Amino acid sequence: MSESKETPQRAQRVLICPTCEDGELRPFGRVSMRCFTCDQVIGGPMLETLRNIYVLPDAIGKHACECGHPEMKRLPDKVYWCPACGSEVLPTDSSPTVWKTKDHTEAYWCGWLDGRYAEKQADFTGNSRLARWEHARDRLEYYRGHREGRKERISTKKPGKASEEAA
């Protein structure tokens, strides 16, 4: 959207038209800009967004972080890591991450997800996701997964909140 165009004296930034991505935006009236390549007039929230992007600093490195750090570090496994906020970004050519291990059943992982991310549930009698599992073996696996997921949720909360929820 905003680009650098080199001039002999210094780099000059201009707003590039978001519609055609080719023309430069020039002032047009008091509160809008116009692309003279595609004749698109930009104003209102779109122009405000472009102006907000325009004032952002240029990224110095090859892979800037969303937190504003100029360059993320590339780790040996090709993951980008930000030293400022700890954020990690997988490369676009990487295969999907498999987080479910084969040593647990589908019922276990459904229970784990419910225990980790679902709202606090008073008991299992009204749990429709538990009722989905017909065999006692699957229900037990769901319960075990739910218990482990809940432990994970409690351990990642702040110490004061974790002790309150465990009570």
Residues 63-118 have pLDDT tens digits of 777 777 777 787 777 778 887 787 888 777 766 666 677 788 888 988 888 888 77
Claim to verify: residue 52 and residue 64 sit in the same structural domain: no
Global pTM?
Answer: 0.38
Residues 51 and 1 in one domain: yes
**31: containing domain:** 1-56
Q: What is the pLDDT of residue 94?
A: 66
> Is 63 found in the same domain as 52?
no
Q: Could you please report the per-residue DSSP string of the chain? A: -EEEEE-SS-EEEEEBPTTTSSSBEEE-SSSEEEETTT--EEEHHHHHHHHHHHTSPPP-SSS--TTS-S-PEEPTTS-EE-TTT--EE--TTSPPP--S-TTS-HHHHHHHHHHHHSPP-S-STT-HHHHT--SHHHHHHHHHHHHHHHHHHHHHS-HHHHHHHH-
Judge if 93 and 125 occupy the same domain: no
Number of domains in the chain: 3
Q: Are residues 4 and 23 in the same domain?
A: yes
pLDDT of residue 4: 43
Query: Which pLDDT score is estimated for 5?
Result: 44
Q: How confident is the model at residue 22 (pLDDT cuts 50, 70, 90)?
A: confident
Examine the domain organization and report whether 7 and 23 are in the same domain.
yes
* Co-location of 22 and 68 in the same domain: no
